[in-house]
Structure 1
Amino acid sequence: MSMDDERRLREWERWGSVPLSIGSLVFLVTYAVRVLVPDLPPDWSDLLLLITVVTWGFFVLDYLVRVAVAPHRWTYVRRRWLDLVVVILPLLRPLRMLQLYGQMLNRHQQPRLSLEARVMSYAGLSALLLGFAASLQVYAYERYTPGAEIRTYGQSVWWLCSTITTTGYGDLVPVTVRGRVIAVGVMFLGVVLIGAVVGSFSSWLVKSFRRPGERSDVPGPPEGE
């Protein structure tokens, strides 16, 4: 293991943090415009497609460089398997912006927000970004499919809200294979995020109402008393 390789890897990740976060936002915006405005002039549509592809190419290049400079390449790939998934599924790239958000919150040794507040903010931003990407994809796959129930973006957003909150009205459901795969991911995401938010909020309530000097691990009275 080379210390130079570790240093180069850290420097590359630090250097690419902000540009890649901006690229993630550009990727999401260009994809959203192409989906939500299907009647764009051909020149504009081609330009947005080019920007989307070039941005995705930067994501691939970043991953390849990080693997190349990592001290143990296969170990790095196994431990950072989510990075590979994000490269393959670039609409997950908005999560990169959460890394930048986390770095901004933790710039000081003592974070300004409590642990519970940070968990809730991360969960909320994750739901917003990934939910927006999921609604775009479901709308793109479903709108022109014969027999589909999701024909407008508003319907796609309604389906997303009822699914990610685990309500599941069932009035609108995807009919394509890709749409149903995305729906499974949204269901899993909803369970995880709601669990994280509810658990953090409950912990915050317990801390807020706990009396000074009161311990949370005080044992109850012995049995039989």
Structure 2
Amino acid sequence: MDEVSPQVRWEQRTELPLALASLVFLAGYAVLVLAQDLPSVWRDLCAAVMAAAWALFAVDYGARWRLSGQGPRFVRTHKLDTVVVLLPLLRPLRVVKVYEAVQRRRGQPRLSLHARVIAYAGVTTVLLGFACALAVYDRERGAPGTDMHTFGDALWWAASTLTTVGYGDVVPVTTGGRLIAVALMACGLALLGAVTGSFSSWLIQVFSREGDERPSGN
């Protein structure tokens, strides 16, 4: 049995705490964006909680960098992790790493692993859409010529963008909003590819097993 590396052990132990920290970060950001009339003391508390969560992400990144033994090359080989630690709202993009693990797995993949990727991608899509809706609404509200007057408009825009439908009835008009839109389009395509790829592999595996188990004719 192969010995598990220190980096893998670290990642296994920190995955759940960091997932909870990312939810706390998102909740704090949501309060800051949506509760504009909140007393300053509560807004300061939310900002402090977000800073603490980001500090955990930074510590995790630094620990994995050191445990990898790769030195500066770690940044090049872990581009997604680098982006996530700089932009914590994009942490749900880690689903791509799970999908890569499925594709690189030797031998016949387990059905439960494909189901996990599909479920993780679904949850990630919801969280990512909500986070981007918050970010774009924070920049669009009150902007001259904006179509995004409520957070409901922002959610509708995020849903149509993630699903690549793009109705065009609500579009960002600010530079920051459009940059977020481009990022969300790319993320939507990546998540859609992860789900469809895993689902297709699962179907092929099911049909192959059915063909192997079917009795041959005389």
The one-letter amino acid of 1:37's match is: A
Match of 2:150 in 1: 152
CA contact under 8 A between 1:27 and 1:56: conserved in structure 2?
yes
CA contact under 8 A between 2:140 and 2:174: conserved in structure 1?
yes
Match of 2:60 in 1: 62
Distance 1:158 1:64, change over 3 A: same
SS in 2 for 1:93: helix
Match 2:44 to one of 38, 46, 68: 46
CA shift for structure 1 position 37 = 1.2
| Structure 1 alignment gaps of length 5 or more | 1-5, 101-109, 216-225
CA shift for structure 1 position 57 = 1.7
- Structure 1: how far apart are the matches of 2:60 and 2:209? 50
Match of 1:22 in 2: 20
Match 1:191 to one of 189, 192, 205: 189
CA contact under 8 A between 1:24 and 1:96: conserved in structure 2?
no
The one-letter amino acid of 1:91's match is: L
Q: Deviations over 1:51-94 (max 9, x none)?
A: 11121122112222332343221232221121111111111124
TM-score between the two structures when normalised by the length of structure 2: 0.78
Match of 2:133 in 1: 135
Match 2:116 to one of 106, 111, 118: 118
For this pair of structures, how many residues does the alignment match? Answer: 201
| Structure 2 alignment gaps of length 5 or more | 99-107, 214-218
CA contact under 8 A between 2:96 and 2:191: conserved in structure 1?
no
Instruction: Give 1 or 2 for the bigger CA radius of gyration.
Output: 1
SS in 1 for 2:72: helix
CA contact under 8 A between 1:95 and 1:129: conserved in structure 2?
no
- Structure 2: how far apart are the matches of 1:208 and 1:111? 11
CA shift for structure 1 position 14 = 3.5
Alignment of 1:83-98 (within 5 A): 83-95=81-93
Q: Structure 1 residues 91-100 or 160-169, which shifts more?
A: 91-100
- Structure 2: how far apart are the matches of 1:50 and 1:153? 24
The one-letter amino acid of 2:187's match is: L
**Seq. identity, %:** 50
Match of 1:81 in 2: 79
Q: Deviations over 1:16-36 (max 9, x none)?
A: 233222211111111111112
SS in 1 for 2:49: helix
TM-score between the two structures when normalised by the length of structure 1: 0.76
CA contact under 8 A between 2:93 and 2:187: conserved in structure 1?
no
CA contact under 8 A between 1:98 and 1:126: conserved in structure 2?
no
Q: Deviations over 1:137-163 (max 9, x none)?
A: 011111122221112110001111111
The one-letter amino acid of 1:180's match is: R
The structure richer in helix per residue is 2
Distance 1:210 1:18, change over 3 A: closer
CA contact under 8 A between 2:139 and 2:177: conserved in structure 1?
yes
- Structure 2: how far apart are the matches of 1:126 and 1:201? 16
Alignment of 1:143-182 (within 5 A): 143-182=141-180
Distance 1:173 1:60, change over 3 A: same
